[in-house]
Structures are given as C-alpha cells and as structure tokens.
Amino acid sequence: MYVLGIETSCDETGVAIFHSEQGLISHCLHSQIAIHAEYGGVVPELASRDHIRKLIPLIKSTLKDSTLTSQDINGIAYTSGPGLIGALLVGAATARSLAWTWQVPAIAVHHMEGHLLAPMLEENPPPYPFVALLVSGGHTLLVEVSAIGCYKILGESLDDAAGEAFDKTAKMLSLGYPGGPYLSKLAEKGTPNRFKFPRPMTDRPGLDFSFSGLKTFTKNTLFSTPQSDQDKADIALAFQQAVADTLTIKCKRALEQTQLTRLVIAGGVSANTQIRASLKAMTDKKNAKLFFPRLEFCTDNGAMIAYAGCQRLLTGHQEPLVIEGRPRWPINELNAP
C-alpha cells in the first residue's frame, strides 16, 4: 500500500510517500524559516498562505522523485492536529480533495503520534512497549506506549514546552529563529559549570515538567551579568544543561516506574546533541536502549505522517468525509487502529 503523507501543522510543508512493505519511498520538505525569521516567530496567517503556495508543487515533486503516478497512491494521510488552525486546514482540504478525486481513503493523523512513530522509519525500530519522550515546540510529553494508538500520559509540561523554552531563551539572548538550534550552537562555546541553573520539579515525585521558571532564572542571570559574547555562551550552556538534566531525571524515573527498558525520544528538541548524549548515558547505565529518529525526522516532516497514516489505513480504517482541523487534540484520545 502506497500512502501519501502531508504535514502542514506549523511552519514546514512536508510531503512523503511510504509503502507498507518497502518503507519510505520519497520525501520533500519546504521550510518557512526565512518567512518568519524577520518576525522572530511563526506568523500564523503567513504560514497558511505559504502552505497554500507550496503544498501542490511539493506533492508533484514527491511523486516525481518516487517515479510513481497518482494512480499508484492507495491512501492519503494528513496532519489534522494539534497545530495552527489555518495551516491545518490547508493540509486537510488538499488531502481530502485529492483523495476524493483519486478515489482513495484519506486519514486524519495526530501530529504528536507522527513524531512518536518517527523512529519506526529507521533501520532498527523500537519494539513495543516503550516510554516515549516527545519534546517539540508545542509539547513536552512522557508517554507509555504499549502499541500504536495505546498511549498513557505519564507526565507533561505544566507551562512552556521544552522547545518553547529554548525559543524564548534564545530570543532573550538575541539569537535567531527558531531558537533551539541557535542556542545549542552558542552553548558549544560555553564554559561548563560557570552557572548552575535549577532543575525544575526534580526534587519532588512525579513526571510532570515546568520550564517557565527556568526561563525567568535565565532572564535574571542575563540581566545581572555583563553580557559579553562569552557570558551569553556560558548562560546558553547552563540553560541547555539544566533542560538536558531535567529531561534525563524524568525519563529515568519513567523507565523505573513502568519497568520498561526502551526509551524513544522524538520531536524537534530531540535533535539536540547534549540532550541525546545525556539520555544515552542514562540509558546505557541502566542497560536500557535509546531510540531516536534521524535528525531530519526529529523536526516536522511528511514521512512520519505517511508512516502513521499507513499503519491505520492498513487495518481498513474509514473516516467521514469532513474537512476538519483540530488545534487542540490530546494524544490519549487516540485509539488502537
């Protein structure tokens, strides 16, 4: 079964074709970074308009790369939420209209389920069950995954998502957008242990997160320090180290609580080298195994949506013919296919 996947939930237009037996066939991505950079963050209306401009040409080039034609496609998967409503509706309207024209089923995919399943696109995919840490611009979730669609939320952020904290801290340091990659680049030049930032909510039991206090701590440190380039790099490193330690402490706790020995990390922030290294050291020590997607599939992409949609379409899943976006959509509302 060939499934065309469409991702338009935020600021990347992603398209891919996944085959149920052969795996990923082709994928294309258009990033809107250049459009939003001058505003320092995503402008929702500009995002929707750009998806409209880029989606159809991207579908055409993904088909061309695959050497398939529209007649080979057996189903269309699209991100229906969570995300920006205008951006979601572009993907939903395009996917449903194409599916109607091509006489194939379309399926609404949960964006975070896409992220969670992204490591399944790799050579050694994680067997179920596992614990998943999903860290993106909008979400920080610890999930116990017993099978596709069987998700128990173990913990989540009570305020800012990890990626949001990276982006806001980067802004304070006058870095570019999106902040995560810029901040981590600057942190490479930082002096280890010059500042010690708090590890929020690690001194009490539970698996929830809170990053807004850490952001304020960073702000206060920044305004009580001279702010040379080196000072900024030292602060960036202290912030990143605090996030990495906090995520690692909570993941260790989640593995112990569930008695599971496999940890998956996914979502944009999982591209962070220091966070990956810290989680790898923890899982190695515990004889547990860490899984993550290749770098380009950590951030938003069409491949993860095509994969997730394909798994559900294979079971014969059918949906009403409605064009709908769900800006908010808790992942534990999903069911097994």
**Residue 146 Cβ vs ligand KG4, minimum distance, rounded to whole Å:** 23
Q: Figure out which of the listed residues 2, 130, 166, 197 binds ligand KG4, where binding follows CB under 6 A.
A: 166
Other beta carbons less than 10 A from residue 48's beta carbon: 17
Cβ atoms of 243 and 236 closer than 8 Å: no
> What's the chain look like in SS3?
CEEEEEECCCCEEEEEEEECCCEEEEEEEEECHHHHHCCCCCCHHHHHHHHHHHHHHHHHHHHHHHCCCHHHCCEEEEEEECCCHHHHHHHHHHHHHHHHHHCCCEEEEEHHHHHHHHHHHCCCCCCCCEEEEEECCCCEEEEEEEECCEEEEEEEECCCCHHHHHHHHHHHCCCCCCHHHHHHHHHCCCCCCCCCCCCCCCCCCCCCECCHHHHHHHHHHHHCCCCCHHHHHHHHHHHHHHHHHHHHHHHHHHHHHHCCCEEEEECHHHHCHHHHHHHHHHHHHCCCEEECCCHHHCCCCCHHHHHHHHHHHCCCCCCCCCCCCCCCCCHHHCCCC
Name the residue nearer to ligand KG4 (CB basis): 99 or 133: 133
- Based on the shown chain and the rule CB under 6 A, indicate whether residue 268 belongs to the binding site for ligand KG4: yes
Measured between alpha carbons, how far is residue 113 from residues 67, 70, 259, 267, 326 in Å? 28, 26, 22, 10, 14
Chosen from ligand KG4, Zn ion, none, partner binding at 248 (C-beta under 5 to 8 Å by type): none
Is 13 a binding residue for ligand KG4 by CB under 6 A? The answer is no
* 300 forms part of the interface with Zn ion (CB under 5 A): yes
Residue 248 or 299 with smaller CB distance to ligand KG4? 299
Our finding on whether 269 is near ligand KG4 (CB under 6 A) is yes
**Residue among 87 and 99 whose Cβ is closer to ligand KG4:** 87
Q: Does residue 271 interact with ligand KG4 by CB under 6 A?
A: yes
Q: Of 222-230, 268-276, 302-310, 319-327, which segment contacts ligand KG4 by CB under 6 A?
A: 268-276
**Which among ligand KG4, Zn ion, none contacts residue 291 (Cβ within 5 to 8 A by kind)?**
none
Q: Does 136 bind Zn ion (CB under 5 A)?
A: yes
Determine, following the binding rule CB under 6 A, whether residue 136 of this chain makes contact with ligand KG4: yes
Q: Kindly state the smallest distance separating residue 281's Cβ from ligand KG4, in Å.
A: 18
| Listed ranges 91-99, 149-157, 180-188, 292-300: which one lies at the site for Zn ion (CB under 5 A) | 292-300
Window 177-196: residues binding ligand KG4 (CB under 6 A)? 178-181, 184
Enumerate residues 33-72 that contact ligand KG4 by CB under 6 A. Answer: none
How far is CA 62 from each of CA 26, 148, 291, rounded to the nearest angstrom?
Answer: 6, 26, 27
With binding defined as CB under 6 A, does residue 163 bind ligand KG4?
A: yes
Site size for ligand KG4 (CB under 6 A) = 19
Choices 27-35, 55-63, 144-152, 265-273 (CB under 6 A): range interacting with ligand KG4:
265-273
What residues contact residue 261 under an 8 Å CB cut-off, 6+ apart? 255, 286, 287, 288, 289
Name the minimum Å distance from CB 155 to ligand KG4.
Answer: 18
Q: List binders of ligand KG4 among 278-307 (CB under 6 A).
A: 299-300
138 lines the binding site for ligand KG4 (CB under 6 A): yes
> CB under 5 to 8 A by kind: which of ligand KG4, Zn ion, none does 190 bind?
none
Q: Smallest distance, Å, CB 288 to Zn ion?
A: 25
Binding region for Zn ion (CB under 5 A): 136, 300
Binding region for ligand KG4 (CB under 6 A): 10, 136-138, 163, 166-167, 178-181, 184, 267-269, 271-272, 299-300
